[in-house]
């Protein structure tokens, strides 16, 4: 059992460990540090102690992981379309595979996938596992988990990456639990420690206030999910020499426990936020739900998608799939215009990697101005109509010209 202890003779009660513990699990009692039960053994206190008074005894395990080779990407398809996050994962996966001198494979599940294969073969992928079956047309946790599990058990990849979409976040933990392996969610950076062949997974925690670096040292495959628009997508490079392995899944009959009845669309023409190049977002500063019309108008003019802060989603002004932020979506558009959004860190986490951030807020102290490329201290009710009007003029001039 791993143990952490304070070497009392060395501890001076300086308290630096207390301030560095993100989990508030250290206190100073009788001038000595005491570590409490919620400790996650992250080692931050060990690093910071100037007297080396804290030590973590980790038992070294001997595990033979040599049988696991290769980097796998789960290609997500929805209604027959391959989701762009797949290409971002292929991009990241390619670097990892090259670093490990291993193969990069793509696993795709669905129904009638033939022409999808052709698309995938244009990317620098070494193998494609094609699992084509009528029961896999629409995502079902049970079937997808079984197929992926069987494949992994048979072919033993060392890394498996899945996009952190609503599908991915439903599937990945189920598969990881079945495989009894480690899964790290929402990674923002993936690198390989070549010596130990460990995947170094970096992800935000505590609402984005801190970053954690995580490894899965004794289990394989090392699973990670990555949010769309976090990694760079890779461009196709013409036909590649890739091996295709057609897999016949062992799926029996209908899953009589879960029945998908249908889909409901409350709005038409909703752009997927995560794929959008331009996003116009509204927050509490709008004042009332009707004012979202300003946001929609501007988004329409710019050909962009509509985003929202958590506050207005909670207030029921707009459906939650518009929400950008730590408990919403992470986006990476070329242009993100935040209107009436104060920019708490939970929101920033979702959009701070946008190329250009424009913030419109009448409060000059709003934290959003800390990360905005262009800040406009103005009442959005005054600013937006003028902006919209000017853009409309320019656009109609362009059409006439």
Nearest partner of 155 among 239, 230, 93, 245, judged by Cα: 245
CB of 245 to another protein, least distance (A): 26
Nearer Cβ to another protein, position 242 or 387? Answer: 387
Nearest partner of 274 among 307, 309, 249, judged by Cα: 307
CB of 154 to another protein, least distance (A): 19
Whether the Cβ atoms of residue 317 and residue 310 lie closer than 8 Å to each other: no
Nearer Cβ to another protein, position 82 or 358? Answer: 358
Cα–Cα dist 2/58, whole Å: 5
List C-alpha distances in Å: 5 to 36, 54, 110. Answer: 10, 6, 51
Nearer Cβ to another protein, position 242 or 380? Answer: 380
Cα–Cα dist 280/23, whole Å: 35
Nearer Cβ to another protein, position 83 or 104? Answer: 83
Residue 361: other Cβ atoms inside 10 A: 26
Q: Strands (DSSP E) along 24-156, which ranges?
A: 26-29, 32-35, 54-57, 71-75, 77-78, 81-82, 104-110, 127-132
**Look-up of token digits 């029961």:** 135
Nearer Cβ to another protein, position 124 or 285? Answer: 285
Nearer Cβ to another protein, position 80 or 319? Answer: 319
CB of 94 to another protein, least distance (A): 24
Nearer Cβ to another protein, position 9 or 266? Answer: 266
CB of 204 to another protein, least distance (A): 7
CB of 377 to another protein, least distance (A): 6
CB of 239 to another protein, least distance (A): 30
CB of 335 to another protein, least distance (A): 5
CB of 232 to another protein, least distance (A): 17
- Range 286-293, long-range pairs (CB < 8 A, 24+ positions): 286/312, 286/317, 286/339, 286/340, 286/380, 287/340, 287/381, 288/317, 289/315, 289/316, 289/317, 289/318, 291/381, 292/317, 292/318
Per-residue buried b or exposed e for 204-229, using 16+ beta carbons within 10 Å of the residue's own CB: bbeebeeeeebebbebbbbbbbbbbb
Nearest partner of 368 among 271, 285, 269, 251, judged by Cα: 285
Nearer Cβ to another protein, position 145 or 242? Answer: 145
Structural Rg of the chain based on CA atoms: 24
CB of 238 to another protein, least distance (A): 27
Nearer Cβ to another protein, position 125 or 349? Answer: 349
58: left (phi over 0), alpha (psi -120 to 50) or beta: beta
**Look-up of token digits 């630096």:** 16
């Amino acid at each position: 059992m791993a143990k952490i202890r304070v070497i009392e003779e060395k501890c001076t009660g300086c308290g630096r460990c207390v301030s560095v513990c993100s989990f508030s699990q250290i206190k100073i009692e009788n001038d000595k540090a005491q570590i409490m039960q919620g400790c996650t053994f992250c080692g931050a206190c060990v690093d910071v102690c100037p007297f080396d008074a804290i030590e973590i005894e980790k038992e070294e395990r001997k595990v033979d992981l040599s049988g696991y080779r290769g980097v796998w990407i789960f290609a997500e398809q929805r209604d027959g379309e391959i989701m762009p996050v797949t290409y971002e994962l292929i991009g990241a996966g390619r670097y990892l595979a090259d670093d490990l001198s291993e193969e990069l494979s793509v696993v795709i599940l669905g129904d009638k996938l033939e022409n999808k294969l052709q698309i995938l073969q244009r990317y620098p992928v070494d193998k494609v596992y094609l699992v084509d079956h009528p029961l896999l047309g629409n995502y079902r946790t049970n079937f997808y988990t079984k197929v992926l599990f069987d494949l992994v058990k048979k072919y033993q990849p060392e890394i498996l990456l899945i996009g952190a979409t609503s599908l991915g976040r439903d599937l990945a933990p189920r598969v990881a639990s079945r495989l009894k392996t480690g899964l790290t969610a929402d990674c923002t950076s993936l690198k390989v420690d070549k010596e130990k062949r460990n995947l170094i997974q970096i992800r935000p925690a505590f609402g984005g206030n801190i970053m954690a670096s995580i490894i899965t040292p004794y289990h394989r495959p090392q699973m990670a999910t990555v949010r769309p628009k976090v990694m760079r997508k890779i461009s196709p490079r013409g036909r590649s020499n890739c091996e295709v392995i057609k897999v016949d899944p062992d799926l029996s009959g209908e899953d009589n426990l879960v029945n998908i009845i249908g889909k409901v669309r409350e709005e038409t023409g909703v752009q997927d936020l995560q794929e959008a190049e331009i996003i116009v977002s509204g927050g509490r500063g709008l004042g009332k739900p009707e004012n979202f019309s300003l946001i929609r108008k501007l988004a329409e003019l710019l050909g962009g998608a509509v985003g929202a802060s958590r506050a207005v989603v909670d207030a029921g002004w707009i459906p939650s799939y518009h929400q950008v932020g730590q408990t919403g979506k992470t986006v990476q558009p070329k242009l993100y215009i935040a209107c009436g959004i104060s920019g708490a860190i939970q929101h920033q986490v979702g959009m701070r990697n946008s190329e250009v951030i424009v913030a419109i807020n009448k409060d000059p102290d709003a934290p959003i101005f800390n990360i905005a490329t262009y800040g406009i201290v103005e009442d959005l009710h005054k600013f937006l109509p003028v902006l919209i009007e000017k853009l409309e003029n320019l656009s109609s001039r362009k059409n006439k010209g």
